[in-house]
């Protein structure tokens, strides 16, 4: 099957900054793919190149087999991009904005087009604002319109660049419900976000970028398994100290000792060991493997090879 997105040997430099330093990546059709990385890692540059807004120094990007440079018009039709920055035209209403966006893709007015726009508005809770001027909308509402704009031409590939940065819980839930549905209907989704719990619950595969390179690429499940673990998290009573054997295995941060374990039947012996040396606890919880843990380890460069 043709990949939804094929990125080959892509480089881009801005002056002295190597924003993309040789990226190779395929996203398969129907995937919910996460593109993660700290600020400045190159995520937006890569997405801009994909949307034809940044000219690469070298390499190729294809969207469903269409080269984003040589076959720009077809490539652009296949993808809807929700940009990171809030951009809007203050002179138009929400519906006018969406109609104009349709015009860019040569989609004439028709019942089908209007029905789809209505559906998008409805799913993003924008119906009541359809006639409102863009200027009058709150930041969160403007962001919803940006999402709607990316979807008007029913692109098979949808790319969202930090769509939930600074938006309220309600929009996040509405948005993810809708995007999940589009993914179930067969759309390929690529998402960048700093909310790692969002990425963990939504994305089936993740690439982590650092300084313009892919430093980790695997299924979310594999990343969690390889770089994170269940851990017993303890806060010891004052004066209490971990027995040396446990102290060796524990990671201590802000007064909380994390002792990793693999199987739940290892918890009892751990607690027995603490009890036997009179170590009193103030707090105890079981930490699950999480993507934040994975992210921190990968970015610190302790990953060995995080590429599968
Ligand atoms: N138009 C530009 N001109 C100069 N430098 C840029 C431009 N766009 C991005 N950069 C630089 O490229 C690097 C990658 O930026 P970006 O792709 O926005 O990262 P991310 O989206 O992962 O935060 C950063 O160092 C950024 O400052
Ligand atoms: Mg960015």
Please give the share of the chain, as a percent, with pLDDT higher than 90: 74
pLDDT per position as a tens digit, 255-266: 899 998 989 999
Atom of ligand 1 nearest to the CA of 12: 12
Please give the share of the chain, as a percent, with pLDDT higher than 70: 98
User: Strand, helix or coil at 126?
Assistant: coil
In this model, does residue 284 exceed pLDDT 80?
yes
Residue by residue, DSSP assigns 173-188 as: HHHHHHHHHHHHTT-E
pLDDT per position as a tens digit, 168-219: 888 899 999 999 999 999 999 999 999 999 999 999 999 999 999 999 999 9
In this model, does residue 303 exceed pLDDT 70?
no
Atom of ligand 1 nearest to the CA of 41: 22
Q: How far is the CA of 40 from the centre of ligand 1 (A)?
A: 5
* 34 alpha carbon, distance to own chain's centre: 4
By alpha-carbon position, which residue is closest to atom 16 of ligand 1? 42
The CA-CA-CA angle for residues 14, 17, 18, to 5°, reads: 90
pLDDT per position as a tens digit, 42-73: 999 999 999 999 999 999 999 999 999 999 99
Scored b (16 or more CB within 10 A) or e, 72-83 reads eeebbbbbbbbb
Q: How far is the CA of 46 from the centre of ligand 2 (A)?
A: 9
CA atoms within 13 A on the CB side of 82: 25
Return mean pLDDT, the chain. Answer: 92
Atom of ligand 1 nearest to the CA of 212: 14
Q: How far is the CA of 41 from the centre of ligand 1 (A)?
A: 8
> Which of 11, 15, 17, when mutated, tests ligand 1's pocket best, judged by the most ligand atoms within 8 Å of its CB?
17
Write down how long the chain is: 308
Q: What pLDDT does 289 receive?
A: 86
Residue 81 in contact with residue 162, Cβ under 8 Å?
Answer: no
Mean pLDDT, rounded, for 242-266: 88
In this model, does residue 302 exceed pLDDT 60?
no
Global confidence as pTM: 0.89
- Separation between Cα atoms, residue 207 and residue 221, nearest integer Å: 13
Atom of ligand 1 nearest to the CA of 39: 23
- Separation between Cα atoms, residue 251 and residue 260, nearest integer Å: 9
In this model, does residue 305 exceed pLDDT 70?
no
Residues 6+ apart with CB under 8 A from 170: none
User: What domains can be seen in the chain, in order of their start residue?
Assistant: 5-224 (3.40.50.300), 229-288 (no CATH)
- Cross-strand partners of 231: 260, 287
pLDDT per position as a tens digit, 59-110: 999 999 999 999 999 999 999 999 999 888 889 999 999 999 999 999 988 9
Return the structure tokens found at 168. 């309220």
In this model, does residue 308 exceed pLDDT 80?
no
Judge residue 149's burial from the number of C-beta atoms within 10 Å of its C-beta, 0-12 exposed, 13-18 middle, 19 or more buried. Answer: buried
pLDDT per position as a tens digit, 23-37: 999 999 999 999 999
Residue by residue, DSSP assigns 242-295 as: --HHHHHH-EEETTEEEEEESSGGGHHHHHHHHHHTT--EEEEEEEPP-HHHHH
Residues 6+ apart with CB under 8 A from 264: 230
Q: How far is the CA of 12 from the centre of ligand 1 (A)?
A: 10
Residue 302 to residues 17, 84, 227, Cα–Cα distance (Å): 24, 30, 9
In this model, does residue 293 exceed pLDDT 60?
yes
């Amino acid at each position: 099957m043709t990949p939804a997105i094929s990125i080959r040997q892509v480089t881009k430099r801005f002056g002295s900054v190597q924003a993309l330093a040789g990226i190779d990546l395929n996203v398969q059709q129907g995937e919910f793919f996460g593109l993660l990385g700290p600020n400045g890692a190159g995520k937006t540059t890569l997405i801009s190149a994909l949307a034809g807004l940044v000219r690469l120094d070298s390499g190729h990007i294809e969207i469903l087999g269409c080269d984003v440079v040589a076959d720009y018009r077809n490539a652009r039709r296949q993808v809807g991009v929700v940009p990171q920055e809030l951009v809007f035209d203050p002179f138009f209403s929400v519906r006018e904005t969406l109609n104009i966006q349709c015009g860019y893709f040569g989609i004439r007015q028709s019942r089908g087009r209007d029905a789809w726009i209505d559906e998008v508005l409805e799913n993003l809770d924008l119906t009541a604002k359809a006639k409102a001027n863009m200027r009058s909308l709150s930041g969160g509402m403007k962001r919803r319109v940006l999402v709607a704009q990316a979807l008007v031409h029913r692109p098979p590939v949808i790319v969202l660049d930090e769509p939930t940065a600074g938006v309220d819980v309600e929009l996040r839930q509405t948005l993810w419900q809708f995007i999940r549905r589009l993914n179930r209907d067969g759309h390929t989704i690529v998402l960048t976000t700093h909310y790692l719990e969002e990425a963990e619950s939504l994305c089936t595969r993740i690439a982590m970028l650092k300084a313009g390179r892919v430093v980790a690429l695997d299924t979310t499940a594999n990343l969690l398994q390889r770089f994170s673990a269940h851990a017993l998290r303890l806060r010891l009573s004052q004066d209490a100290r971990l027995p040396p054997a446990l102290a060796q295995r524990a990671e201590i941060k802000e007064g909380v000792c994390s002792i990793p374990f693999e199987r739940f039947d290892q918890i009892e012996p751990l607690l027995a060991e603490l009890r036997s040396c009179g170590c009193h606890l103030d707090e105890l919880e079981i930490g699950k493997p999480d993507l934040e843990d994975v992210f921190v380890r990968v970015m610190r460069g302790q990953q060995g090879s995080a590429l599968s």
